[in-house]
Amino acid sequence: MSADENKKKRRFLSPEKKFQIFLESQSGNTPVGEILRREGIYSSDLVRIRNQVKEGALDRLGGHRSGAKQKSVPVEEYECLKRDLQEKERALADQAVELAILRKKNNGGSWDR
């Protein structure tokens, strides 16, 4: 036999199978070693499955509330706010230029404070 024939083939576990293994390992009715041997997985695989279940549960429980609705703004109000923001950005840029000129005048031509 060659080394390739002795090598274990990588096994794909569906999410449902992983969850079944997780539940069985958490129940305490069957020794974990027996579950690992029967399923052909290592203890590190079980640790990874447990972490995936924990992350999935935390994501689901901490995520968005299913009943919460996203607020929408009418198009007219959005356009008005957008124009207002652009005007304020232009005014801020103008003031920045004025400030730079005043600093230069007060510092005798130097840009330093």
pLDDT value at position 38?
93
For the chain, give the DSSP string: --HHHHSPPP----HHHHHHHHHHHHH-SS-HHHHHHHHT--HHHHHHHHHHHHHHHHHHHHS--TT-------HHHHHHHHHHHHHHHHHHHHHHHHHHHHHHHHTTT-S--
Q: How do residues 44-95 score in pLDDT, each as one tens digit?
A: 999 999 999 999 999 888 866 555 666 788 899 999 999 999 999 999 999 9
For the chain, what are the domain ranges?
Answer: 13-62, 74-113
Taking the whole predicted model, whether its pTM rises above 0.85 is answered as: no
